Structures are given as structure tokens and as C-alpha cells.
Amino acid sequence: MITFRQRIRTAAVALVTVTALAACGGTSGGSANGTIEYWLWDSAQQPGYQKCADAFEKQNPDLKIHISQYGWDAYWSKLTAGFIADTAPDVFTDHLSKFAQYVDLKVLRPLDDLAPTSDIKDGDYQEGLAELWKGQDGKRYGAPKDWDTIAMFYDVAALKAAGVDPADLQSLTWNAQDGGTFEKLVAHLTIDTKGVRGDEPGFDKTSVKTHGLASEGSGGGGWGQTQWSAFTGSAGWQATDKNPWGTRFNLDQPELQDTLGWYFGLVQKGYMASYEEIGGANAIGTDKQIQSGTAAMGLSGSWMISTFTKLTDAAGKKLEIGLAPTPIGPSGKRASMFNGLADSVTTLSKQPESAAKWVKFLSGAECQNIIGQSGVVFPARPAGTDLAIAFNKNERKLDVTPFTQQVKDKTTFLFPVTTNAADIAALMAPRFDAIYIGSEPVDSLTKLNTQLNDLFKVAQ
């Protein structure tokens, strides 16, 4: 029989995390002394959740919340190490790209079995969010905390210099044959080092100063969430036969391969940065590319709103950033991946009922309203979302409709949730990198599709 620690150690290898353990010092995990250890990765969200912790402690004077924040990579490395060494926290912020693996490994407690969280209702949250955090056994392993979609951030000054009316971005279309009006815009916003635009005679694609479209890498590690998912989604493509818990992949379908052929083809035209230009696997983000002037616009997630609105130029002057929706695709609709985070209780917690009480508070109206008022993310509860929308409108003078409208119009699709998540990511990331670099053709995804489907045969 495979033991708990053997399962975790296998996952650690698959997640490529154990190499970072030495660099991940910090507070030990869950305890039984009334202090609930809570981990998150987003530094921008920590102040809001500290306010939630303060409010929770006032209502529960016998309990204390200790929040630890780590950067994305260190976070998952330390969490995996914690499961091995019995130092995992009581509660942690969970991501759908990791969730399925942790369910497989049985390191999450079913919230249904804990009294404080046994009555969480799906209908209290944005449609579809709560259901994502249920395992194949039907039990709930995460309480929704927020949601996100994808939209286009752009440099207002870059559009003005190009003579582009921001209103035109509301009706952009794309297709895999000629890129549609979207590619025309991307070409026009691209400028070589001699000042020639991408749609003008004499443009030098080998010497580009500003790319029309930013790049955040190949997208192989996260289903192209901020890279190509908006395009494949609006082409009518779905990653698996069903979601969540699909058992057959669709990477061999032309809707995906044709779309990626066009998307990565933008690099060959000079309209989007190459793999080497963005720093390879450690890609600099769209925010940094726009800030430095190496890109005029780019796709990114709603969790980045506060980051973009704080950007400044080299002289320290605040950049004016605009938002536009994802372009309309061959399906006749625009699309965005719909993702969400949740809070989970670990099986290593020595005070699971107290931990669940904290999780219930995190997913409840009071805390979600606190987070909404901070404007960092869109809380999972509709009322919290409304507060975040109001904050952006009143405090940042930013219309976030490009993010919220897709939810209202139901043009979103869910982040793929499957078993074998770590193995899938380990197979996908290098193959998509190779396609981005140009060392592998797009149709090599057909072979990858077979490899992914074989994972389910092995599991059985």
C-alpha cells in the first residue's frame, strides 16, 4: 500500500518543488494552541485579510490568526514541504491548478464534515464558483473567496500616439486566417527601432522597440490563462470532454492547433515578443512590458488591476492605463477563462473545527465585503463584487466592465480541473515552450494529447 508520505513525495517531484525547500524558511504549520496558521501568496491581498483576521479575533477571542505570505513559487514549494514534514498550515489559499492534485493525495479535509462549514451554499456565490471546489466524491474541499476573468490592458498614450480611438477596442474581432481587426491593431501598435510601424512599408521585424501585444510565456503551465485561452475559448475549444473532472483531452483538435499557429505566429511577424525577449520560462509580466514601453497592450487577469493602476514611467509619472474586453472570435462571441480561489483546511491541522470556523468567516459576507472595499480582487459573493466595482470606479476612475461583463453575458469558461494535475503540467509546459520557441510544430500537440489521455489509463 502506498503511504501518505509516499504519495506526497511523488507529488513533490511532479510539482518540481522540492529543490526550493532550503530557501523557504518561516513559521511552522498548524498547531493546537488556538493560533490558526493561514497562508496566502498575494502580498496585495494580505492587508485586506489582516482586517478580516482582526474582525474574526474580536468575535472569537479564544482564537488567533497568524497570516504568512510567500511569493507564488515559494508558496507552493513550502506547502508541499509542509505536507511532507508535518508543518503545513491549518488553512491555505488554494488554486484550481493545484486543487485536483491535493484532492488526489487526500491532504484536504472535506468541509462538509466540519460543523462550521457544513452549511456552505453554492447559491451564495457567483454562479459556478462553489461547484468547482467539489471533488469527484461530491464533497466540498474549498470555500470560494474570489473570482477572476481576463481582459486587455493598454497604454493610453501608446494608442493616442497611434491615432487609435479606444472605443474601437470594444468591437475587435480575430480569426486564425488573417487575425482580423485585432491583428491589424496589434500590427499598427508595433514599432521598430527606426519608428516604422508594423503595418507600414519598411518595418523591420528583427529590430522591434515596442511590440503591439505583450506576452506572458507559452501558457503551457496554466492552460494559457493569460496567453491564448481567450482566443481558443472564443474559437469554441474546450480543453477536456467535461469540466470539472474531465477524462479526455482535446489538444488534437484544429480549433486549438489552428489558433495557436496564428497566436505564436505573431512572434514571427514581430508583433509579439519572442521567448528569449521576455526571459524564457521566467517571463516578465505584461505590466512590466507595458511599463517599459516594450509592449503597447496585453492580456492579463483581474487580479492585476491594482498593479497596473500603480505603474509609473521612467520619470516616475503615473501611466494612464485603459481596459478593453477580449476580442470576438470565430464563434461570434468573446471569451474569458473563469477562475477562482478558495480556502482549504489541511488534514494536518490539529484544530480542524477552529480552522473551519476561520474558513467560514473568510467565505462569509463580512470578510468578503472587507476585501471588496479594498478593490484588489472580485470577491466570490455578488455583494463583495459590487463593492470592488465601486472602488475601482470611484477611487481609481477605472471602468472594470471588460472583466465583469463576461460573467454577466455568460461568455466565460471554467479553468480545467482534472486528476493528475501536476503530471499534466509537467508534460505540457516544456511542449508549449518548444512551440513558442519554434523548435516544435503546433501539431506536436497531437502526440501530447495521447500522453495526457494515457495518464488516466495508468491511474485506472
Per-residue pLDDT tens over the stretch 58-98: 999 999 999 999 999 899 999 999 999 999 999 999 999 89
- Do residues 276 and 383 share a domain? no
Q: Which domain holds residue 444?
A: 150-337+418-459
Taking Cα atoms as reference points, which of 190, 220, 169 lies closest to residue 229? Answer: 220
Residue 306 within a domain = yes
177: which residues sit within 8 A by CB, 6+ positions away?
262
Q: What is the mean pLDDT of residues 332-350?
A: 96
Give residue for cell 492587508: 47
What is the reported pLDDT for 181? 98
Residue 432 within a domain = yes
Q: pTM higher than 0.75, yes or no? A: yes
User: 245-264: string of b/e by CB count within 10 Å (b at 16+)?
Assistant: bbeebbbebebbbbbbebbb
Residue 412 within a domain = no
- pLDDT band at 279, cuts 50/70/90? confident
Instruction: Render pLDDT for 220-266 as a digit per residue (tens, 0 to 9).
Output: 989 999 999 999 999 999 999 998 888 899 999 999 999 999 999 99
- Do residues 252 and 387 share a domain? no
Residue 241 is given by DSSP the state: S
> What is the rounded CA–CA span in Å between residue 297 and residue 185?
10
Taking Cα atoms as reference points, which of 376, 383, 405, 458 lies closest to residue 43? Answer: 376
Q: Where is 152: in which H helix or E strand? A: strand 150-155
DSSP string covering 269-316, please?
TTSB--TTTTTTTSPPPHHHHHHHTSEEEEEEEGGGHHHHTT-B-TTS
CATH value at residue 27: 3.40.190.10
- Do residues 178 and 161 share a domain? yes
> What is the rounded CA–CA span in Å between residue 237 and residue 414?
12
Taking Cα atoms as reference points, which of 393, 311, 379, 371 lies closest to residue 342? Answer: 379
